[in-house]
Structure 1
Amino acid sequence: MKRQRVGSSLVEDVQAELREEILSGVRQPGERLLVQPLSKRLDVSLSVVREALTRLAEQGLVGSAPQLGFTVMPLSVDHLNDLTRVRIDIETMMIRRATVEGDLDWEAGVLAAHHRLAGTSPESGGAMNPAWRAAHAEFHGAVASGCASPLLQNIRAGLYDKAELYRAWAVKVSGGRDVVQEHRQICEAVLDRDADRACELMAAHVQLTTDLLLESMPDVDVP
């Protein structure tokens, strides 16, 4: 069926479709993303596919190189460790500010986002549930939104996007993890405006995702 949307809206559609294929595991880390076959399958122009892939590269989900084109970003131990350390630094900095700067609307937003997340199943068919992925992003964004710095908000959002590929793979090895309790404890500490406790919980939450994935990496095909 011919796509009806045009221009930037069409690029957004293709970007969203390819992003979901990457994060659901349909596209493997390191897999080449050939523009022409994608253009034919998605029934869009080559330029639309290139723009969508370029945007995904900006999010850290796709890599690009001269002569090689686009590939799904491979999993990297060094990159994951570095990304985790920086994410913890930024997330905890913003939580400390949020517990001081956040108002009642911020508290209500955190509570509503947590309620939605708690009511959504993380897995669907052995892969991460897209609805849970959206609710998870909303919750973490809501917690950080109490920080009044637009610059920090942009930095945090970029780091969160870059962690999505790792998070999608970590769900495969997180069977024994009580992620519901982790989020509930973070929510409670934030709403209590207990910055030390909230930062401790957030750091442990982010680090555990990394630790579980690192433990599994010998059994994962990591280019």
Structure 2
Amino acid sequence: MSSPTLTDKVAKMIRQDILKGDLRPGQKLVVAELKEKYCVGASPIREALVQLSWSKYVKLEPQKGCWVAPVSKEELNDLYESLRVVSSVLLKKAIAMGDETWELEVLTSYHKLSRIQNVVEEFDSAEWEERHQQFHIALLEGADSKNMFEFFSDLINQVKRYRFLALSENSLSDDLFNIDEHEMIMKLVLAKNSEQAAELLDRHLHGSMKRIEQVIEAA
């Protein structure tokens, strides 16, 4: 059995290739081909694929094979509907319970997000997505709700695959980089305006879903 460290490394490489679009939704994953691509043995490849199936990046069917998980409008809607519900609850709890350390983290994560758009000379959409996800995580980390936050983390990691898919469409990418909405959410959160903050966050998530829908419908 291969070491967990090697399995994790291989899983990370495959996951990144799925996010970048090098491995496309619905593409069959053949162990022999992946061995050659990543220069590792069959065992860590198989274990990595099982690991990625837990996070729903990969679809495994016993005796049939393995594929990059397909995408669908139905799954996208379900993910975002769940994300909108849990995000609203967590945000209101975070605003009610969050301390100064949490407020500083919200401000810092927003600052890092805004800098990549306003300061970095060559815009990096993949880095934006990483900082964008961290901003959403920071918003909700102040809520003292471990199980609900774990559910949120699982959802946002599944949604990430759809957001990266949308980035492959240059005509839609700019719509996903709306710093103004993030600034307003940040200001409402720090002002402890929980109702308006939750309402704007919900609109933001719904808008993102609708823009990604266009990519799926056009495919």
- Paired with 1:205 and 1:129, the residues of 2 have a C-alpha distance of 18
Q: Which residue of 1 aligns with 2:6?
A: 10
CA–CA distance in structure 1, aligned partners of residues 165 and 27 of structure 2 = 15
RMSD after superposition: 1.9
Residue identity (%): 28
Tell me the secondary structure at the aligned position of residue 174 of structure 2: coil
Name 2:91's counterpart in structure 1.
95
Pair 130,11 (structure 1): closer, same or farther in 2 beyond 3 Å: farther
Q: What is the CA distance between 1:120 and its match in structure 2?
A: 1.9
Equivalent residue in structure 1 for 2:73, among 53, 58, 77: 77
Aligned to 2:209: 210
Is 1:193 the equivalent of 2:192?
yes
User: Is 1:49 equivalent to 2:35 in the alignment?
Assistant: no
How far did 1:177 drift? 5.2
How far does residue 20 in structure 1 lie from its aligned partner after superposition?
Answer: 1.1
**TM-score (ref. length: structure 2):** 0.89
2:22 is the counterpart of 1:26: yes
Flag the 1:128–1:57 CA change in 2: closer, same or farther, 3 A: farther
Q: Which whole-Å CA distance do the structure 1 matches of 2:200 and 2:125 have between them?
A: 24
Q: Measure, in 1, the Cα distance between the counterparts of 2:60 and 2:146.
A: 29
The structure-2 alpha-carbon separation of the partners of 1:177 and 1:9, relative to structure 1 and needing over 3 Å to count, comes to: closer
Larger fraction in helix: 2
SS of 1:47's partner is helix
CA displacement 1:57-83 (0-9 Å, x = unmatched)? 222211111223221111111111111
Q: Is the 8 A contact 1:174 1:212 kept in 2?
A: no
Q: Which residue number in structure 1 is paired with residue 131 of structure 2?
A: 135
Aligned residues: 211
CA pair 216-129 structure 1, distance change in 2 beyond 3 A = closer
SS of structure 2 residue aligned to 1:70: strand
Q: Specify every segment of 5 or more residues in structure 2 that has no aligned partner in the other structure, as ranges.
A: none
Q: 1:128 to 1:47 in 2, by over 3 A?
A: farther
Residue 115 (structure 1) aligns with: 111
Secondary structure (helix, strand or coil) at the match of 2:162 reads helix
1:59 and 2:58 aligned: no
Change (3 A) 1:165 1:191: same
CA distance in 1, matches of 2:154, 2:217: 28
